[in-house]
Amino acid sequence: MSMQQSITILCPECGTESDVMIQDIVNGQDLVAKTAFLEERLNEAQCVRCHTNITPTVPILYYDLEKETAFVLAPPESSLAAATQDETIQALTNVLINDLPAGQRKPYLFTPTRFDSFERMVDAILEAEGITAEVRQRQAEKAQLIEIFLTSPDEATFQHNIEQYDAELDYDFFELFTGYIQSAQMAGDESKAQMLFALREHLAKSSSQGQLAVAQLDAQMSAEVAKRQEQLLEQLREARNNEQRERLIADNYELLDLTFFEQVAAKIDQAAHAGDSVTANSLKALRSNILFLKTEYEKKTKAALEKGEELFKQIIQSDQPDQIIKKNLAQIDESFFFVLGTNIERARQQGQTEPAQAMEKIGQVAVTLLQQRQTSKL
């Protein structure tokens, strides 16, 4: 789960106050939010007047049920007084605890480890995942090696680099490379993900350790997905109402594939063979409920994207895009920005710099107007 709230920020350049939405609870299993946090992109905002980029300094609660960790960033440079900051941290903790099913309310969540430095908190998150300072140094070296292959000008140079660095093209190298692919997928850049995947396959076939490393990684990823699906099923079973299930489905939609429902079917058969008709019937009802909620989520998502695409077309085809945005400000939402971002990326890939910049300007205008509307409400 994540929590958003509106806060007032002061532009360091022009002194203008702006009201912006921030996310102050991060689920470590939400790879998009986690990556944004680790890369310091989580709560990026923009001044409504001079468009200076601003990152609000506020307490942020990070938790990971799988790693059994709970950390809170309480930076001393926060504009909150010490007592207010303590109250805010306690409020975040209470929101998290109350939103989790009873079976997941572990003791460590009630007393998150506190950090006054972003860097130290990131170190703790990575340490919990087994990524020590030494490991990070090795990853940096592997990243440089990946860059060598990405920038190879031709096949002859590519093959020469494989021969030169073959001993270093090991499991760690392909693990990091696979992470690059996943990052591109999470960012919605499918063309980049496909390019990296093809390059990984080429490297795997041409190097001495590659094929075994990739096979091990793919098997491990399949096992991790199966584990996450098992956890999701338990969360759905423990959910108190459809509202919680809807949130779980939205946050974990990619896990609700054929394999997930095969797991549910296997559990139903297992319960039936054991003579446990109560559990079997309960799982059947849950499966029907999940399928219904999944279908509803898909309908809503499709409708929202179609609406976003239609609004995008109206704006892009208008001689006065600012006026169209103002007129339809209530319809400017995540779906619109997703459509806008997809079109900007497509234009960049096709070398259409001016259209990409024009669309970026549209995004900036939309963000500014939304922030101004939020300010006027308060």
Are the beta carbons of 143 and 176 closer than 8 angstroms?
A: yes
Distance CA 181, CA 274 (A): 43
User: What is the pLDDT at residue 14?
Assistant: 80
Distance CA 43, CA 49 (A): 18
Distance CA 170, CA 49 (A): 51
User: What is the pLDDT at residue 114?
Assistant: 95
User: What is the pLDDT at residue 162?
Assistant: 95
Report phi then psi at 73, rounded to 5. -90, 120
User: What is the pLDDT at residue 348?
Assistant: 75
Query: What's the CA dihedral at 268, 270, 272, 276 to 10 degrees?
Result: -100
Are the beta carbons of 33 and 22 closer than 8 angstroms?
A: no
Per-residue pLDDT of the chain in tens (378 residues, 90 and over written 9)? 555 666 777 888 887 777 777 888 999 988 777 877 887 878 877 776 777 777 888 899 999 999 999 999 988 766 556 667 788 899 999 999 988 888 899 999 999 999 999 989 999 999 998 888 888 888 889 999 999 999 998 999 999 999 999 999 999 999 999 988 887 776 666 778 889 999 999 999 999 999 999 999 989 888 888 998 999 999 999 998 999 999 999 888 888 999 999 999 999 999 999 999 999 999 999 999 999 999 999 999 899 889 999 999 999 998 888 899 999 988 888 888 888 888 887 787 777 888 888 888 888 788 778 777 765 554
What are the respective helix, strand and coil percentages of the chain, to the nearest 5?
70, 10, 20
Containing H/E element for 7?
strand 4-10
Distance CA 358, CA 316 (A): 9
Q: How far is CA 282 from the centre of its chain?
A: 32
Q: Is 6 helix (H, G, I), strand (E, B) or coil?
A: strand
